[in-house]
Chain A
């Protein structure tokens, strides 16, 4: 297993499947009367959030607590960071306090990569979303959700998503979710199509392992899963699209469009949804929409990642001296 989780592109097919399989095991914990494993007892995990986030931070915190880790939550607002402290100093301060892993959310693309690769700290780094770059645990929980729904909870064990057709719709340009999903779904054998107005597709997308379409209707009928991305209303002020209504008409998912999807196909959304913009309430509340499942699966996936990265499968004893030797 790798030391850090920075990008979904870093995962091999087997590593990704191992995480998904481990997450299935973790999911069973949630069905128990006592939802807790002792795997990370005595280990401290810091959630280092430089960017506002509620659901991702809570999801990581729930995962850490279910593995019995000690949890430190660090939000940049109101901390020394807002007084000008650098990422390096913040991270080194936390490590000096004995943090065993850092979960980082940062507004700057590449910040987790820098943290993991600059010799600033030794602890494993888990990327909880960086700028418009990557959000690998989101891609993993999405793949987990797809595998459960499209392959099966038990049948899915050991399986990837070979041949499944996944459509991702919306603001690809500014989306770390889209980038992570394209990378991971390709690794897992799925066929990905991105759908967006041309303004919201990055220059340079031609090398990505996916198709790009500007037409939602023609791709819906060929999709096993349709993932709607959040579209911020402010984008129209920068002329990415003319109005909210025009966006909804051309790229929003409503009941009529959903009806044209294959019967088994699911609707996904990383949340938070902007109802009435990229998705109508009718679709969001339909049984085909997996938004709530995705949230539940997120905890299982993050448990699996923490467990595998922190070597929870070896022994519960902390490996204190290996870390100093690496220096």
Chain B
């Protein structure tokens, strides 16, 4: 493998430095490094980050290859600056056996754009009735450590308790989709002023908060760690903050869309804004940003949820829930966190690479940009401004809420173990 010299990039937003990649490894970081026979990337003004890690991606394969495949999803991930993604288990068939997780793992290897770490289902068929073979998935070639019934809540308290306890044997973690099912029957959007006017079934904040409160207490009781998926309310932030202050081993994620968008957008009845958990209020958005800045929320995770056009080109109630996010995540974080002064680029690296890699146990990812480390790197031009054009997405789906919206920043290069997966903003 050849050498690449990234010249003059601000590593984690710091002073400009040169970074020499040799093969799959960062060879040297310093100033005035001689290029020699290396390919040179002039990166003055750009930010060099560790390759991003997404703990919450829906790649849809197997089963819904009309919306995404492992290949198209990892291409989208690379475009967005990601070098590792965790693939959620709600595929068809569900990733609840060693066979399915190994298949997804193998497809990820074959794609070559981004490492794919499968997430295993907590319960068989995501049905909440019977524990899936968590140990077998862990021992499989996929080496699963994160388990989630995402899309559905493990709402049975005993089932959740057992799962939390069981995975301790091999250092696993349960990622909970916090949604009390009875409180959200027929729910279509955040319950509040807008839902009352629009006549859409309300999705109360308490449906999320009550499950989080229960689960942090369960985690405390059995001495396990728990991860909360896509936190979306100010109240959830308060509960996680309280739990952490109490020493409970809890981590939490927030999606880019919950950092930017509110339920006011639902007034258009355009299902591109339909997502689970639903878009909340301005007050929630501000609380989530603060929490991500102060570390109460550990990471940003995309909840990239591709859907075919026909599942969004319809009336609200009939539409599928979810948004694609891999290719816009970093831009949304730049706008909501960096340009507001809440987080610097080192903070972005922490929330989008270091911490998610630790939570998920992604080996070789989320490492410092220094000599001897794997060359998983993302180069960002923060000065770029442009309107989002879904036609240019690498994802097979186009269900973005940002179409036509101007967002800052652009991933110019992504390196997966030294190999460029994105060059000058285009997939290699």
Say yes or no: B314 contacts A88, CB within 8 Å: yes
Say yes or no: B314 contacts A109, CB within 8 Å: no
**Stretch of A93-101, A130-138, A185-193, A277-285 at the chain-chain interface:** A130-138
Contact of A110 among B192, B193, B269 (CB under 8 A): B269
Q: Which residues of A contact B270 (CB under 8 A)?
A: 114, 118
Say yes or no: B269 contacts A114, CB within 8 Å: yes
B200 interface residue (CB < 8 Å to A): yes
Say yes or no: A176 contacts B195, CB within 8 Å: no
Say yes or no: B193 contacts A204, CB within 8 Å: yes
Contact of A202 with B315 at beta-carbon distance under 8 Å, contacts A110-B269, A208-B196 already known: no
Contact of A202 among B188, B196, B313 (CB under 8 A): B196
A203 interface residue (CB < 8 Å to B): yes
Say yes or no: A176 contacts B199, CB within 8 Å: yes
B204 interface residue (CB < 8 Å to A): yes
4 closest pairs, A vs B, by CB?
Answer: A204-B196, A133-B199, A110-B269, A132-B199
Contact of A134 among B199, B202, B316, B317 (CB under 8 A): B199
B191 interface residue (CB < 8 Å to A): yes
Contact of B196 among A106, A118, A205 (CB under 8 A): A205
Residues 227 to 249 of chain B near chain A (Cβ within 8 Å): none
Per-position contact with B for A189-207: 1 when CB-CB < 8 Å, else 0? 0000000000000111111
Contact of A88 among B188, B198, B269, B313 (CB under 8 A): B313
Residues 305 to 326 of chain B near chain A (Cβ within 8 Å): 310, 313-318
B194 interface residue (CB < 8 Å to A): yes
Count how many chain A residues have C-beta atoms less than 8 Å from C-beta atoms of the other chain. Answer: 27
Per-position contact with B for A152-193: 1 when CB-CB < 8 Å, else 0? 000000000000000000000000100100000000000000
Q: Which residues of A contact B315 (CB under 8 A)?
A: 87, 106, 108, 110-111, 114
Residue in B closest to A238 when the chains form the complex, CB atoms: B185
Q: Which residues of B contact A176 (CB under 8 A)?
A: 199
A203 to B203, CA, bound (A): 11
A204 to B266, CA, bound (A): 15
Q: Which residues of A contact B200 (CB under 8 A)?
A: 109-110, 131-133
Say yes or no: A109 contacts B192, CB within 8 Å: no
Contact of B194 among A86, A204, A206 (CB under 8 A): A204
B197 interface residue (CB < 8 Å to A): yes
Q: Which residues of A contact B192 (CB under 8 A)?
A: 203-204
Say yes or no: B314 contacts A86, CB within 8 Å: yes
A214 interface residue (CB < 8 Å to B): no
Contact of A202 with B195 at beta-carbon distance under 8 Å, contacts A86-B310, A108-B318, A131-B317 already known: yes
A86 to B316, CA, bound (A): 12
Q: Which residues of B contact A107 (CB under 8 A)?
A: 317
Q: Which residues of B contact A205 (CB under 8 A)?
A: 196
A113 interface residue (CB < 8 Å to B): yes
Q: Which residues of B contact A117 (CB under 8 A)?
A: 268-269
Residue in A closest to B196 when the chains form the complex, CB atoms: A204
A203 to B192, CA, bound (A): 6
A206 to B194, CA, bound (A): 11
Q: Which residues of A contact B268 (CB under 8 A)?
A: 117
A32 to B163, CA, bound (A): 76
Q: How large is the interface on B (under 10, 10 to 19, 20 to 34, 35 or more residues)?
A: 20 to 34
Q: Which residues of A contact B314 (CB under 8 A)?
A: 86-88, 114
Q: Which residues of B contact A108 (CB under 8 A)?
A: 315-318
A132 to B199, CA, bound (A): 5
Give the number of A-B contacts (CB < 8 Å). Answer: 79
Residue in A closest to B193 when the chains form the complex, CB atoms: A204
Say yes or no: B269 contacts A204, CB within 8 Å: no
Say yes or no: A109 contacts B196, CB within 8 Å: no
A to B CB contacts below 8 Å, 22 in the list: A86-B310, A88-B313, A108-B315, A109-B198, A109-B199, A109-B200, A110-B198, A110-B315, A113-B269, A114-B314, A114-B316, A131-B199, A131-B317, A134-B199, A179-B197, A202-B196, A203-B196, A204-B192, A204-B196, A206-B193, A207-B197, A208-B196
- Least CB distance from B66 to A in Å reads 16
Interface residues of A (CB under 8 A from B): 86-88, 106-111, 113-114, 117-118, 130-134, 176, 179, 202-208
A110 to B314, CA, bound (A): 10
- Least CB distance from A237 to B in Å reads 13
- Least CB distance from A110 to B in Å reads 3
Say yes or no: B313 contacts A207, CB within 8 Å: no
Q: Which residues of A contact B199 (CB under 8 A)?
A: 109-110, 130-134, 176, 179
- Least CB distance from A253 to B in Å reads 25
A131 to B316, CA, bound (A): 11
Q: Which residues of A contact B269 (CB under 8 A)?
A: 109-110, 113-114, 117
- Least CB distance from B395 to A in Å reads 22
Say yes or no: B196 contacts A86, CB within 8 Å: no
Per-position contact with A for B197-212: 1 when CB-CB < 8 Å, else 0? 1111010100000000
A107 to B316, CA, bound (A): 11
Say yes or no: B316 contacts A109, CB within 8 Å: yes
A203 to B317, CA, bound (A): 19
A107 to B313, CA, bound (A): 17
Say yes or no: B317 contacts A204, CB within 8 Å: no
Residues 386 to 423 of chain B near chain A (Cβ within 8 Å): none
Q: Which residues of B contact A208 (CB under 8 A)?
A: 196-197
Q: Which residues of B contact A134 (CB under 8 A)?
A: 199
A76 to B196, CA, bound (A): 27
A95 to B221, CA, bound (A): 62
- Least CB distance from B238 to A in Å reads 19
